[in-house]
Chains A and B, each alone.
Chain A
Amino acid sequence: MYEEKREIILHGMVIASSIALIVLAPLLVAKSFKGTAEVPYLLPQSFPIFSLAMIALISAWSLFRIFFIGKKPVENERADPLQKKSMLRVLVTLIILVLGWFVIQVIGMIATTVLVPAALLIHFGVKDWKTILVLCGLMALFTYIFFQVGLKIPLPEGFLFYR
């Protein structure tokens, strides 16, 4: 039953978002730019709307199957007891990565390649500071030598270290 509920919610969300994007199409797809040629037969909005409509239709079919055809009940089916805890772990990982993205603009890419892995290592349960320092230091060194010196990519310096 748990999986069935999850599928109903999932397909409901897929249908709702597809329909929302179809409804918003007139606002999100420009009919034509000034000076560009009109292309007959295949309008700019046809392809995205067709794709979204197909997504909504197949999701609707999946819902129809759940409600009217039904699935065989799975014996002893229950929610994974670890799920809430693991979702929390994923959320923390996401927060670290998003913060990492913000931090690039402040302290630059090289410093971020020290901070993000360090935060993740701590999050993954590494307690030995020497390991963390050595790994993150090596990562930053690798990033600098390989990307900035070797491939000559101008990595962002961040406004704190901007010269």
Chain B
Amino acid sequence: MLSDILTGMTMCLRLDVFGMLGVGVILGVIIGALPGLTAIMAVAILLPITFFISPLVGIPFLVAITKGAIFGGSIPAILINTPGTGAAAATTFDGYPLAQKGKARKALEMALYASVIGDGLSDLITIFGIGLLAKLAMLVGSPEYFAIVLWSFSLIAVLTGESIGKGIISAFFGLFLSTIGMDPLSGTPRYTFGILDLHAGLPDIPMIIGLFAISEIFRHSEIIEKGAAKANEWVSKEIFKTEKPLTLKEFKECLRTILRSTLIGTGIGNIPAIGQVPSAFICYSVAKANSKHPEEFGKGSLEGVAAAESGNNAVNGSSLMPLLTFGIPGDVIAAILLSAFMVNGLRPGPNLFDTQGPMVYGILWGLFISNIFLLALGYFLLRYVALIARIPKFLIFPLVAALCFTGAYSVNNSLFDVLLALVFGLIGYAMDKFKFPLAPLLITFILGPLFEETLGQSLMMSDGSLLIFLQRPVSLIFLILTPITLIYLVKKMPKGA
């Protein structure tokens, strides 16, 4: 394992990797700073690129965009009280009051340092801990896999939307869509409507582009904003000329909070469906409860900014642990990354570390190095990103449409894929309008074949007896956990959900 870690490190020390990481971080910070543009959309549009470049370059590039965007989201959160991404919502509690007190520079710098430390440490924990988890995953057979995937599905369906019913419908819709094409067990075509392009199943990249990028274009075209009114109010270049920087003493006072939030965020990243937003809120609450000055929280506390930012960024690295070891994505970004791995012939799961160990560690080191780029480029970009944020969205979305067309086409050189992206754009838009969450659909769609395969294999192992799931301890634990978790979460949900 240690030799794989070291080989991986030397593998990713390449100029092309560094170049793409830099580009990814810059793109991510800009996208995150523009309210309305999401990291998911950016990653969805740029996903086809990974098809043409080495996974060692392409996958860290996608993750660098996410890291940059999650930090970038904190810039408008602090300066104009509008989080650029959902993950930065908790940053507004103290970031904006700090900006109003004339301490925007301190808040921005604290957000950057906390993000980099949270993310970097989480990446290191992932690099050194993932091998052990992979060894555990090796002990898991088909029945256990089926039970673990079932448990993840129930978490994702219940936790990712406003309504439990709609979350579950979305999950089953994804599961149904995953059955289109050849049956993985018998090889017979299902629901292909005689269309040859569907025999290999619905392609995931056009689907992702449609659901998360084209649907945004439809959503945006509902209301067209003229100009970027608020952008003129905050030119952060001025802040850097007039305001005092963060002092070492202030940073040291928050270090304990940053480390605590990093550990909490890293733990949360391992659980499917929780993600960055709840992690930021949980870390913020814990920091407030343990602070020497809890009365300052909500009124402009640097500790509050540090907790929220390190908490949301720490999820990035550790969310790859269940993805790479069990092949189970915890959120939409992880599901898109799973596609990127598959496109490059790397099938996440326990065997991945045996067959492609150095490559996987190389990718993980790439994620760690992207934090260094985030620190350097983020500090520089803080001064200029306000100028970029002046670009109105009505100029960006038409260009996004052109990128979606080319991106959807480029994977299989197929115009049918472009049409599918348009269809899924409409489906994504309609689902969002009727408040159906999209995350369960995508995750069950991607995991559907594995779910069906493991069920089929388990039944074959037991000559058709469902008792096999109760006879194996791990699958029994997860089968018991599924209804318990569901009942607990349903009870915790607000009434009417």
List residues of chain A with CB under 8 Å of any chain B CB: 6, 10, 14, 21, 28-33, 36-42, 44-45, 47-48, 51-52, 54-55, 58-59, 61-62, 71-72, 82, 86-87, 89-90, 92-94, 97-98, 100-101, 104-105, 109, 112-113, 116-118, 120-121, 123-126, 131, 135, 139, 143, 147, 151-156
The reply to whether A32 and B188 form a contact with Cβ atoms under 8 Å apart is yes
Minimum CB–CB distance for B362 against chain A, Å: 22
User: Could you give, for residues 186-227 of chain B, a 1 whenever the CB lies within 8 Å of some chain A CB and a 0 otherwise?
Assistant: 111111110000000000000000000010011001111010
A124 nearest in chain B by CB position: B394
Asked if B54 CB lies within 8 Å of chain A CBs, one says no
A-B contact pairs, 7 of them (CB 8 A): A29-B188, A47-B179, A48-B190, A54-B172, A117-B399, A117-B402, A123-B221
Minimum CB–CB distance for A151 against chain B, Å: 4
Interface centre among A97, A98, A100 (most CB of B within 10 A): A97
Of the residues B172, B217, B395, B459, contact of A126 by C-beta under 8 Å: B395
For the complex, would chain B's binding face be called helix, strand, loop or mixed by DSSP majority? helix
Of the residues A90, A112, A143, contact of B218 by C-beta under 8 Å: A90
Rounded to whole angstroms, the CA-CA distance of A142 and B149 in the bound complex is 41
The reply to whether A62 and B418 form a contact with Cβ atoms under 8 Å apart is no
Given A45-B190, A61-B165, A86-B222: A39 in contact with B456 (beta carbons within 8 A): yes
List residues of chain B with CB under 8 Å of any chain A CB: 49, 52, 165, 168-169, 172-173, 175-176, 179-180, 183, 185-193, 214, 217-218, 221-224, 226, 394-395, 397-399, 401-402, 405-406, 409-410, 413, 415, 418-419, 422, 425-426, 429, 434, 452, 455-456, 459-460, 463-464, 496
Taking A98-B422, A104-B418 as known contacts, 19 extra A-B pairs with beta carbons closer than 8 A to each other, sorted by chain A number, are A33-B186, A51-B175, A51-B176, A55-B172, A55-B173, A82-B223, A89-B221, A90-B218, A100-B401, A113-B406, A121-B394, A124-B221, A126-B395, A131-B395, A135-B395, A139-B399, A147-B410, A151-B49, A154-B413
Rounded to whole angstroms, the CA-CA distance of A41 and B458 in the bound complex is 10
Of the residues B175, B405, B463, B496, contact of A113 by C-beta under 8 Å: B405
Q: Which residues of B contact A116 (CB under 8 A)?
A: 398, 401-402, 405
The reply to whether A33 and B395 form a contact with Cβ atoms under 8 Å apart is no
The reply to whether B406 and A147 form a contact with Cβ atoms under 8 Å apart is yes
Top-9 shortest CB links A-B: A120-B398, A117-B398, A86-B222, A51-B176, A41-B459, A124-B394, A44-B183, A48-B179, A93-B221
Q: Which residues of A contact B221 (CB under 8 A)?
A: 89-90, 92-93, 120, 123-124
Q: Which residues of A contact B409 (CB under 8 A)?
A: 104, 109, 153, 155-156
The reply to whether A36 and B186 form a contact with Cβ atoms under 8 Å apart is yes
